[in-house]
Structure 1
Amino acid sequence: MSAPTVEAAIHELMDLAWNLVFDLLEERGLLRDGLFVERYTEIHSWVEGLIRYSVVHSCDVAVLFVDTRPVDAIVFRHDILGADDPKTFFTVPG
């Protein structure tokens, strides 16, 4: 993906679900002062069967989306990026 495409994908996911992302970050104790969508600069997305998984992350936090719904957030770890199955770092509902 080119940089504008990556940026557009991140903003689409984060903007559509910002209230849910905000609540998720707050629940996990990951909400920091000055947290803005612009701080999220990378996305890793893949499809398994009929489900799209996306991990959107900043330098500090990673958020897992199932299709377009944020389902978990964790402290960002660099080993997520090279993992065979990045969703194993998260708690994925049912």
Structure 2
Amino acid sequence: MTAPTVEGAIHELIDLAWNLVYDLLDQWGLLGDGLFVEEYTGVHSWLDGPTRRTVVHSREVAVLFVDTRPVDAIVFHHDLLGANDPTSFFTLPG
């Protein structure tokens, strides 16, 4: 069970951009598990200058948001959680 504020943040990001998240998962062949908002249980968010970067993950996939827009999705792995720069696991748009 996640804390209500974390759960609310996950739901807000995923729900508001679900079509874009779905397209990212489809693009990278990650549409197996991870299709239900309830499966996303982790969030890591930080400021990079004026830009907020957020990683939301389930047990299977991780989605990177820049501000509130999803920009990439990858297969989730635990190294992502302790990384100094979690964005290094993702491909950022040019």
Query: How high is the TM-score relative to the length of structure 2?
Result: 0.95
> Shift of the alpha carbon at 1:16?
0.4
Gaps of 5+ in 2: none
Runs of 4+ aligned residues of structure 1 deviating over 4 Å after TM superposition are none
Q: Indicate the residue corresponding to 2:89 in structure 1.
A: 89
Q: Quick check: 1:75 aligned with 2:78? A: no
Amino acid at match of 2:76: F
With structure 1 as the length reference, what TM-score do the two structures score?
Answer: 0.95
1:54 correspondence with 2:24? no
Please list, as runs of the form range in 1=range in 2, the aligned pairs for 1:11-50 lying within 5 A after superposition: 11-32=11-32, 35-50=35-50
Q: Is the 8 A contact 2:34 2:58 kept in 1?
A: no
Cα gap change, 1:4/1:83 in structure 2, threshold over 3 Å: closer, same or farther?
Answer: same
- Identity, in percent, stands at 73
Summarize deviations over 1:36-65 as a string: whole Å, max 9, x none.
Answer: 011000100000110000000000000000
CA contact (8 A) 2:73 2:90 kept: yes
- 8 Å Cα contact 2:34/2:40 also seen in 1: no
Q: Deviations over 1:17-40 (max 9, x none)?
A: 000000100000000167201100
Kindly provide the amino acid, as one letter, of the partner of residue 68 in structure 1: T
